[in-house]
Amino acid sequence: MESRRHIRRRRCEMLNLDRFQPPAEPLTVAHCEWCGREIYAGDEVFRIDDGGGFVHGETDCAKDYAAERVYDRYGYISAQLDVE
């Protein structure tokens, strides 16, 4: 049976509580389909349903991507359902 001190020391080694060590680099997990910049673990994103890619959620990437890829016209709708 291990002593409490040994368990605590091992736990601290696993957590790496050295405050003078530089912070770890953020983990890049994908690239934005609109702007091409890196997406890091923990970032807010929108997943693209037809391709499985991602766009940034906290920028205009999602809005701009949708405007370019989803919609074909912008304007005011008439009684005949035309967009002008």
Alpha carbons 1 and 71: distance in angstroms, whole number: 66
Q: What are phi and psi of 7, to 5 degrees?
A: -65, -45
Bigger pLDDT: 3 vs 39 = 39
Residue-level pLDDT at 4: 54
Residue with tokens 């060590």: 21
Residue-level pLDDT at 23: 74
- Condensed to tens digits (0 to 9), the pLDDT of residues 23-69 reads 788 899 999 999 999 999 999 999 998 878 999 998 999 999 999 98
Nearest to 51 by CA among 70, 64, 28: 70
Q: What are phi and psi of 64, to 5 degrees?
A: -65, -40
CB atoms under 10 Å from CB of 29, counted, come to: 13
pTM exceeds 0.75: no
